[in-house]
């Protein structure tokens, strides 16, 4: 059931007239109410909303190098300075690549010394 | 982070006591067009050979796209006059100058940036293909410069005094070097320009020595060399 949040009128189904607003009052906000839940107040519904925990920042920073298009690069200096490996994000197909020489670079540098 | 810092400090202490005569490896770091190659050339001209260049310095950003190392530079302020002909010598600096002697390897690095777009090269008249190739090389250059940081005993971080110092590049770089325990000197370059404001850099990073210089004109270089001898020697 759809309930107009302005005038409280209930509609069993979405009617074509509702697409332009409530036929009674013109309000354009409707609440979908399941059967048997007519008496539930909006305040109770708010409590049902679960706010998922923010995704850890680490996930946002994972790419150390993003290739936006050929010749356009975005570098995450923080990740490059902190991590041993270089993770590249390639925009076109959403794929990622790990730069293998960067993983072995330290070992080789140590051997050279 | 903490253990790395401790490791960095211990490693430096070990070097100070075990290899007192070790050559200090100093990296010239900073954003593109800050004057890293100009400073590298100035150091070589003053202490090694007037006709030797470490790199080509132009107004096009990312001109240096590979790290260049020049070893065995003896910075000896007793034997060389590093004063610009127009500048005045500070009588108080005589005693400091007597102590200022430092053997070092200088590494001129590609400019660090958070975004490299081939269009910025095209603005300098480069063809698209060439601009894209440069952008790729410049990106590889940034990664190479960062990899070199592991080997550095000290860093001279160059900033353009005419620009806002609160950039992501400067802040990330300084924060990382503090975490590593690498000694840093900030050279506030281009002080000869009328819109230079080195005080902004001094205010932004009060925890590090900031020396206003003009690598191009050779102004205030003696002060920078003294600070290098003090911090990296």
Q: Any idea which residue has 């189904």 for tokens?
A: A13
Average per-residue pLDDT for chain B: 86
Q: Which residue has the higher pLDDT, A100 or B167?
A: B167
| Among candidates B132, B142, B173 on the partner chain, residue whose Cβ is nearest the Cβ of A71 | B132
pLDDT at B112: 94
User: Is the pLDDT assigned to residue A45 strictly greater than 90?
Assistant: no
**Contact criterion met (CB < 8 Å) for B115 and A81:** no
Nearest by CB: A65 against B139, B168, B172: B139
Most confident of B32-41, B86-95, B97-106: B32-41
Residue B221 has pLDDT above 70, yes or no: yes
Interatomic CA distance for residues B168 and B150, integer angstroms: 20
pTM of the model: 0.69
The pLDDT score that the predictor gives to residue A89 is: 74
Contact assignment for B116 to A73 by CB distance below 8 Å: yes
Scored b (16 or more CB within 10 A) or e, B156-195 reads bbbbbbbbebebebbebbbebbeebebbbbbbbbbbbeee
B69 Cβ contact list (under 8 Å, min separation 6): B105, B106, B107, B108
Residue B59 vs residue A37, higher pLDDT: B59
**A54 CA: distance to closest CA in chain B (Å):** 24
Give the whole-angstrom CA distance, residue B32 versus residue B40: 14
In this prediction, residue A113 carries a pLDDT of: 44
Domain boundaries along the sequence of chain B:
2-232
Q: Using a CB–CB cutoff of 8 Å, tell me whether B10 touches chain A.
A: no
How does pLDDT run across B106-163, given as a tens digit for each residue? Answer: 999 999 999 999 999 999 999 999 999 999 999 999 999 998 998 899 999 999 999 9
Do B176 and A78 lie within an 8 Å CB cutoff? yes
Residue A72 has a CB neighbour count (10 Å cut-off) of 18
CATH code for the domain defined by B2-232 = 3.40.50.300
Put simply, the answer to whether A77 touches B146 (Cβ < 8 Å) is: yes
Instruction: Tell me the pLDDT tens digit for each residue of B176-194.
Output: 999 999 999 999 999 999 9
Each residue of B18-28: pLDDT tens digit? Answer: 555 578 999 99
Average pLDDT over residues B161-181: 94
Suggest the residue from B4, B23, B115 to mutate for an interface test with chain A (most A CBs closer than 10 A): B115
Q: Which of A30-34, A41-45, A109-113, B119-123 is predicted with the least confidence, judged by mean pLDDT? A: A109-113
Residue A82 is predicted with a pLDDT of 85
Chain B residues near residue A111 by CB distance under 8 angstroms: none
CB B230 within 8 A of CB B222: no
Chain B residue nearest residue A79, CA to CA? B172
Q: What pLDDT score does B124 carry? A: 93
| pLDDT above 60: residue B85 | no
H-run or E-run covering A75: strand A72-75
| Distance in angstroms (rounded) separating the CA atoms of residues B184 and A47 | 53
Measured between CB atoms, does B176 come within 8 Å of chain A? yes
Interchain proximity A102–B112, CB inside 8 Å? no
């Amino acid at each position: 059931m759809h309930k107009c949040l302005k005038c409280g009128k209930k509609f069993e189904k979405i009617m074509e007239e509702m697409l332009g607003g409530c036929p009674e009052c013109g309000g354009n906000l409707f609440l979908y109410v399941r059967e048997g839940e007519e008496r539930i107040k909006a305040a109770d519904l708010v409590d049902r909303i679960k706010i998922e925990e923010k995704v850890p920042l680490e996930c946002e920073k994972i790419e150390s190098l993003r290739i936006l298009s050929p010749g356009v690069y975005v570098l995450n200096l923080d990740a490059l300075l902190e991590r041993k490996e270089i993770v590249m994000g390639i925009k076109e197909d959403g794929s990622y690549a790990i730069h293998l020489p960067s993983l072995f670079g330290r070992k080789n540098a140590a051997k050279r010394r | 982070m903490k253990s790395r810092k401790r490791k960095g400090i211990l490693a430096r202490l070990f070097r100070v006591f075990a290899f007192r005569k070790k050559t200090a490896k100093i990296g010239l770091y900073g954003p593109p067009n800050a004057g890293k190659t100009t400073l590298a050339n100035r150091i070589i001209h003053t202490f090694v050979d007037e006709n030797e260049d470490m790199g080509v310095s132009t107004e096009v950003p990312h001109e240096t796209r590979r790290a260049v190392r020049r070893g065995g530079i003896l910075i000896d302020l007793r034997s060389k006059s590093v004063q610009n002909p127009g500048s005045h010598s500070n009588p108080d600096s005589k005693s400091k100058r007597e102590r200022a002697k430092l053997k070092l390897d200088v590494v001129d690095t590609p400019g660090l940036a958070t975004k490299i777009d081939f269009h910025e090269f095209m603005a300098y008249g480069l063809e698209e293909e060439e601009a894209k190739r440069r952008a790729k090389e410049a990106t590889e250059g940034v990664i190479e410069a960062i990899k070199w940081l592991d080997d550095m005993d000290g860093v001279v971080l160059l900033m353009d005094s005419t620009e806002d110092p609160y950039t992501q590049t400067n802040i990330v770089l300084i924060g990382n070097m503090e975490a590593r325990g690498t000694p840093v000197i900030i050279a506030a370059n281009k002080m000869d320009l009328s819109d230079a404001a080195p005080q902004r850099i001094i205010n932004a990073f009060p925890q590090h020595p900031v020396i206003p210089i003009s690598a191009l004109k050779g102004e205030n270089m003696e002060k920078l060399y003294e600070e290098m001898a003090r911090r990296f020697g």
